[in-house]
Chain A
Amino acid sequence: MPEPIINIQNATVVYRENIALRGVSLQVAAHKFVGIIGPNGAGKTTLLTVVNGLGKLQSGSVSVLGENINRQSYHQLRKKVGYVAQIERIDARMPMSVREVVMIGRSGLLGLFHKPGKTDWKIVDEALEMVGMSPLANRPIGHLSGGEQQRASIARCLAQEPQIFLLDEPTASLDWKAQTDILELVKQIHDSRQLTTLFVTHDLDALPHTCDRVVLVKDGVIIGDGPPDTLISTQSLSRLYDIPADIIEERHPHIHRRGG
């Protein structure tokens, strides 16, 4: 395996009495598209947020782009890591336009005391164009649908010009059409910008079929890691979600039996 761009070693994260990650190790090579799946509360979001330093380690270490994440480095590293969080309700009266929200992606890069210039606004407009949101650029951010909000979040990440792309349940609570569109968009961006992408989901149907690799997370540990074709099977999913294999077969007849 080439030098990993993300290197998580024995990461343990504790939220008060809950252990979210239990000594997890994960290495991701540059330009890979990794899907992370598991049930609700498995530790997927925490695994994602230790990469940008939002998740605080109890023990272990994380290095990103060759640098250890610590109090001194995480502000600089975060500027190179785009993060699409789970959909949150935005106040319908929030006094910000879509374009201004996308500009937040450049705020960290610009640094304190620097106002966005023409080039920054051009980059923002190009990001909006790429996600198909140009016609809604001046609309109040709180007036967007769930799918449009996620497109705006993806545009914010694009404006950040990151090297690593973290997506936390980007298709949760979206209808089937919006889900499909977002998945296609994410893959297109991953390929065209040559990003390293971690894509978290609890929903098997939302797992991009073009993942290079899938990581199965349950109860704060990784219970499976490999190419989707060999890893995703009724047995492995049965173990992951605690659902009998025959029910999985019934609901997802295209998934094969072997593996796990």
Chain B
Amino acid sequence: MDLSIFGYHFMQYAILATFLGGIACAMIGVFVVLLHMPFIGVAMSHAAFAGALLGLWLGFDPILGAFVFSLGTAAVIGPLADRGQLSPDTSLGIIFSLMLGIAFLIIGLIPSTRSEALGLLWGSVLTVTVSDIILLAIVAIVVVGLVAVFYKEIQATVFNRQIALAVGLPATVILYVILFMTGATVTVSLNSIGGLLIFSLILNPAAAAYQLTYNMKKMFILAAVFGVVSGWAGLLLSYLFDFPSGATIVITSSIVFMICAVFSPKRNSHRQPKQKALEKI
């Protein structure tokens, strides 16, 4: 196998981007899985996509547009989910369809830069820039740092928000920080993974880790490992077979999930004789 490709800057950037994006997306995914709000990733990624397109159309930085739109989505989702006025999936579904509508409306209005617009939809990890990597690194460090510093507060909040509030924790603030960081992660991953595919990289590694452990710390670590492995394996396969990189990364993460689901020790885990063994995972 000719490995000279790894000597090129663009490939080194791609490896770094998948490493940082894999960690950030997977750790955000743990919240998405444990809060039972899988639609968060879909709604956020399409909001970011719509915001980036608005930036392209009106001539400002697409990343800024993506950031504003995904944070706006977080600001709408938060109170709806918090007050229980709508089921979270209903509100997220409405936001998702609205953002998709706005995105395609803008695509229709800017025919001259349609290829650039589609680039945001599919992403391209092989064309990431140094500034993309810096943004990814900042978000990844902040996500990992928040989980490390506020682990006990996060653990209580994802277990049961009402109980977390009742023991005196600022669970509502924690929920908003989680939503804010989801928006930031989606935004900085837009160029490399793409608006359509980012949701899978958020959900799949965390859902895979969820199959394997009853320990939340291990779940965060396993999810990050699966995120990075999916990114790197997908990158390698895309190079070897000349496949689109974003799609290959997402398919790889889906395969990782399927393998974990098949070999999950949690299957039929309620059976009593197994309990002692399960306490160790």
Contact = CB atoms under 8 A, between A and B. Distances in A.
Interface of A: 52, 54, 75-79, 81, 83, 85, 88, 91-97, 100-101, 103-110, 112-113, 115-116, 138-141, 143, 156, 160
B153 A78 contact: no
A79 B170 CA distance: 12
A77 B164 CA distance: 14
Contact of B215 (A54, A95, A103, A104): A95
B64 interface: no
Contacts of B151: 115
Contact of A112 (B150, B164, B270): B150
11 contacts: A75-B168, A83-B167, A93-B210, A93-B269, A95-B215, A97-B279, A104-B155, A109-B167, A112-B153, A140-B279, A143-B278
A54 B172 CA distance: 12
Interface of B: 34, 36, 149-153, 155-156, 159-160, 162-170, 210, 213-216, 218-219, 266, 269-270, 275, 278-279
Contacts of A141: 159
B165 A107 contact: no
B166 A78 contact: yes
Contact of B152 (A75, A88, A115): A115
A93 B163 CA distance: 19
Contacts of B169: 107-108
B262 to A, nearest CB: 15
A145 to B, nearest CB: 11
A251 B60 CA distance: 74
Q: Which of B150, B169, B216, B218 has the most CB of A within 10 A?
A: B169
Contacts of A109: 167-168
Contacts of B218: 95
Nearest to A160: B167
A193 to B, nearest CB: 17
A61 B194 CA distance: 52
A83 B166 contact: yes
Given A95-B218, A97-B214, A107-B169, A143 B152 contact: no
A107 B153 contact: yes
Given A103-B152, A116-B152, A108 B168 contact: yes
Contacts of B165: 54, 78
A104 B168 contact: no
B102 to A, nearest CB: 30
A84 to B, nearest CB: 9
B279 A138 contact: yes
Given A78-B168, A79-B167, 14 more contacts: A78-B166, A81-B166, A85-B160, A85-B163, A92-B270, A96-B159, A104-B152, A106-B167, A107-B152, A107-B153, A107-B168, A140-B279, A156-B167, A160-B167
